[in-house]
Structure 1
Amino acid sequence: MLNLGFITDVISLIFIVAGALQVFFASVGINRFRSTLARIHAVTKPQTVGLIMVIVGVIFRLIGDEHFDVGQRGDVGMLFLLVLFALMTNPVTAQRLGRISRREGLYGDEEDIAINEHPGDLHKQL
């Protein structure tokens, strides 16, 4: 009953469901927050983590297959490349969106923005 295929299926299911929930929470964050910067913050981390968790779940599912051969090894390699691509591009995209929203003044309402009145005081406290 507890063979390798069953264990990897359970692990795969846990990763895929957790990753799908992360992506769902990212979409809720996009709809819930009003300002552009809050939306960027809400979407970047859970979206990246959710995508990576789903990919890791798929990798576990492929590895646990009883017919794991050269074709599936190539698929696992492509999935690792997809993880690397997501880790490289998602933070860059979020940074670019933040910079454009800052340059264009798409912050949101003035009362939502906090201003540091004394930026040098932090170094004096340390």
Structure 2
Amino acid sequence: MPTRASRAGVDIAVLTTDQLQQQPKFDAVFCDAPCSGSGTWRRTPDAKWRLTEDRLDQLIRSQATVLDAAAPLVAAGGVLIYATCSVLTHENQDAVDRFCTRSPEWGIRRNTQRLPDADGDGFFTCVLLKR
């Protein structure tokens, strides 16, 4: 991230997980969640053969951990954005629905699912608002 930010002429602060707890809450928290990468299989077809049911279960648990850890960092009136490069419903809409069930103070504002095509990879994004 620092290299890309420098190239773009942008200054950023990189914080460790521990440092996040001492910061003021953020207006937006972006969760680039670990995922199967199924949205990239068009250009990395061998990756689909490496995904097992056990690995998918691990990823789903990690996605829940990421959302649960990120939610308390969002300021009142802020947004929590969840994103994957997956096209699997279980990692996307289902993950967000499970989060909203665990954390009923959050609701879905908007989500987008892009399927892979000749122009690019597939991905999912969801913007969540605190109710």
Structure with the bigger percentage of helix: 1
Q: TM-score, normalised by structure 1?
A: 0.28
Report which of the two structures shows the higher radius of gyration computed on alpha carbons: 1
Q: TM-score, normalised by structure 2?
A: 0.28
